[in-house]
Structure 1
């Protein structure tokens, strides 16, 4: 029960992956909980992120699968793609998950408040309708939002949020950025028939991923016909009479395109939240500073997920929400372990990675042993697709312990999830060598690395 002087034991702002988990678990531990959400229950991941994006990626894969099928004896006619059908079905699935999330919260007795909430002090919250409530503990789980460069005409561009709601696939799209969102949407729109140009301020794509794997994606993407312009900074976007967009940038000629998409990082959602009224400190990027237990510089206010800008991944937000609720309300103190967190880029083909890159390992350990397998998947060989996969294992040269595993190729994320368990468990290269190969598979390359 809530203490007499507070309306709630816990008030959560933001019902995304982290906020939903924290609300549900705290309520299960007996706390009186409310969660406020100004948009839709489910947050970025479910509503306008990983879930709808992965469904678009499945849809995009059929372009190559249908072409390849002919080499496998299928008399595939010329197929037409209907963007409206795909997006309609994707939105129906998003609605289903949104309802499931809402149902879970309601079933656990969490009060859902569909309104914007701001902080008025260490224990005070004001809702959009003017109502004020109090809580012993406040959890900020407001996530992050796509950042947009401040060039003239930036309002003519879209972000990943709007990409799902385009009326049609643009004939020519310019994607700004070189992180996972930029590369994923480059693959999606390319497969759907758009001419894609990716521009970036530097000449590095997927900063933080292993160099060999990044280079391989760049080679394959260029081979597919995706254009890259490096060392290009936005100078402006203007609308032409025919509705197309003229984009000017440093170091390159201007471009005429039909759509500009910004995928240049994500900013923590802390603007206008009233955090300063409670003495909550932010870092230079506007993220909430927290300690190992997710507590901010105000004793009664905590934060989890992307708004803290630690590791911006859904499963991390969920674990942080769980650890917060267990520690505070379940008498089960726990913390998230941020070592060896696997991640994936659902590009075409996808990338998956866990642990240290070769560069990071050399910096940290001096000498390392690197094992690789550079191969053409069996399916690609028969399909006549000249696209090679690359698997790479980085090991400590003294102990043979695996420090990192990096892959690019079909189904790499599905394969890496299981292999990541071995890396997390601290196994050695010998443990992989001792495992008999599953033949013929792509995954067997992991136990045959030279």
Structure 2
């Protein structure tokens, strides 16, 4: 048998790579993980964790206004310090980074703070020039923000740089209409910026239920966010005063203080040397893998966003766990990608699981749809006109719930339990038979008509 330096070498210490490394080491494998930036990956360092903290911070803008209706003596203008929030968020990121690092070290994983590239089916070269070998290689390098090809694109930023801004821009243009674009649109709007979103199509948040995303669009426009559809970048011109003028198809140019690209994410396979081992890459730049996360090279595997299956942190974690259990723990495991819940932390947030109404009609033919369209109790007393919308999609013949979709305060917190019900194959009758928990917004789920 060949003598390898490691049983498993992992490239990338994000959510998937960290989980795979820790679990494989716990199963007794000799494991090393190479990370050229910081342990924790996109989610912890520059993604969902710090972004969710910004969402929490931005909600105080509306909460302070609403507080007056609840008897609190709140000044008309409350001072907000972006540097305070930014620095506190980054301090929390540092804490989590330290916790991830300690977890790996405590499990005997060797952390190599350097870039690693594949040089063959069982070999790698590190950033310092050192060559190492491994019986198995796992690629878990994630993805990076896509940047449109247009003159002046270097003047824009991506979600990676948002957390380092010195201050909040007065005018911001966000390119894109997916979850990243809508989340940062809500954040910056609540912090006082005028936000314009441009999108090359007529739709926002494709893949989510039409009625839910239409409600978000209506509420966003009511709040003062501006949308420009059928707009494609033509160029960005930077002026002497630092302002940026963006030209686009179908619309007049617009001058702003910041341009944020939120136009999707691209797998980080460029320059990894995967071709040296015969690893197949698809036209999106993602590593092609089978149900066991194995690439076209038998000794090289991949998990997480670099495979471009479902770009969600919990998916990467489950894939990393399944990989380690299968190949180092003697417990063959495969991931079920059906009924994966997701959320958009917009203002207000939305969440969904299972088939949308359109998808259900195309797949099942006959469906029944139940809804609740209401003003949450807090909004009523606060004098806000925003309405929540809950939607349940059922198979027309069996009554089985095939999808639940919601928009309104705190719906991501409810969706996890709703997802269990959909995954379990419960019916509308099962929800109807459950006594409502009153007064809550969640009770509307068992009162849908």
Instruction: Tell whether the structures are fold-level matches, with TM greater than 0.5.
Output: yes
Who is 2:113 aligned against? 114
SS of the residue corresponding to residue 398 of structure 2 reads coil
Who is 1:283 aligned against? 282
Who is 2:27 aligned against? 29
Post-superposition Cα deviations, 1:335-367, rounded to whole Å, max 9, x if no partner, equal 010000000000000001000000000000001
Who is 1:295 aligned against? 294
Following the alignment from structure 1 to structure 2, what is the Cα–Cα distance between the partners of residues 416 and 310? Answer: 21
Who is 2:122 aligned against? 123
| CA root-mean-square deviation | 0.6
Following the alignment from structure 1 to structure 2, what is the Cα–Cα distance between the partners of residues 131 and 416? Answer: 47
Who is 2:221 aligned against? 222
SS of the residue corresponding to residue 202 of structure 2 reads coil
Shift of 1:4: 5.6
**1:421-440 correspondence runs (5 A):** 421-440=420-439
Who is 2:72 aligned against? 74
Who is 2:354 aligned against? 355
SS of the residue corresponding to residue 217 of structure 1 reads helix
SS of the residue corresponding to residue 324 of structure 2 reads helix
SS of the residue corresponding to residue 165 of structure 2 reads coil
Post-superposition Cα deviations, 1:78-110, rounded to whole Å, max 9, x if no partner, equal 211100000000000000000000000000000
Following the alignment from structure 1 to structure 2, what is the Cα–Cα distance between the partners of residues 22 and 339? Answer: 22
Who is 2:273 aligned against? 274
Following the alignment from structure 1 to structure 2, what is the Cα–Cα distance between the partners of residues 430 and 192? Answer: 44
Who is 1:414 aligned against? 413
Pair 1:235-2:231 in alignment: no
Who is 2:392 aligned against? 393
Comparing 74-83 and 42-51, the one that deviates more: 74-83
Who is 1:13 aligned against? 11
Shift of 1:143: 0.1
Pair 1:244-2:223 in alignment: no
Who is 2:320 aligned against? 321
Following the alignment from structure 1 to structure 2, what is the Cα–Cα distance between the partners of residues 243 and 397? Answer: 57
Following the alignment from structure 2 to structure 1, what is the Cα–Cα distance between the partners of residues 154 and 41? Answer: 23
Following the alignment from structure 1 to structure 2, what is the Cα–Cα distance between the partners of residues 52 and 203? Answer: 30
- Output the TM-score relative to the length of structure 1: 0.99
Pair 1:210-2:185 in alignment: no
Q: Give unpaired runs (5+ residues) of structure 2.
A: none
Shift of 1:5: 1.3
Following the alignment from structure 1 to structure 2, what is the Cα–Cα distance between the partners of residues 422 and 194? Answer: 40
Following the alignment from structure 1 to structure 2, what is the Cα–Cα distance between the partners of residues 394 and 224? Answer: 29
Shift of 1:312: 0.3
Who is 1:57 aligned against? 55
Following the alignment from structure 2 to structure 1, what is the Cα–Cα distance between the partners of residues 418 and 291? Answer: 28
SS of the residue corresponding to residue 120 of structure 2 reads coil
Following the alignment from structure 1 to structure 2, what is the Cα–Cα distance between the partners of residues 270 and 6? Answer: 24
SS of the residue corresponding to residue 306 of structure 2 reads helix
Number of aligned positions between the proteins: 448
SS of the residue corresponding to residue 150 of structure 1 reads coil
**1:132-281 correspondence runs (5 A):** 132-281=131-280
Who is 1:342 aligned against? 341
- Output the TM-score relative to the length of structure 2: 0.99
Following the alignment from structure 2 to structure 1, what is the Cα–Cα distance between the partners of residues 417 and 110? Answer: 38
SS of the residue corresponding to residue 310 of structure 1 reads coil
Following the alignment from structure 2 to structure 1, what is the Cα–Cα distance between the partners of residues 355 and 176? Answer: 23
Following the alignment from structure 1 to structure 2, what is the Cα–Cα distance between the partners of residues 186 and 373? Answer: 26
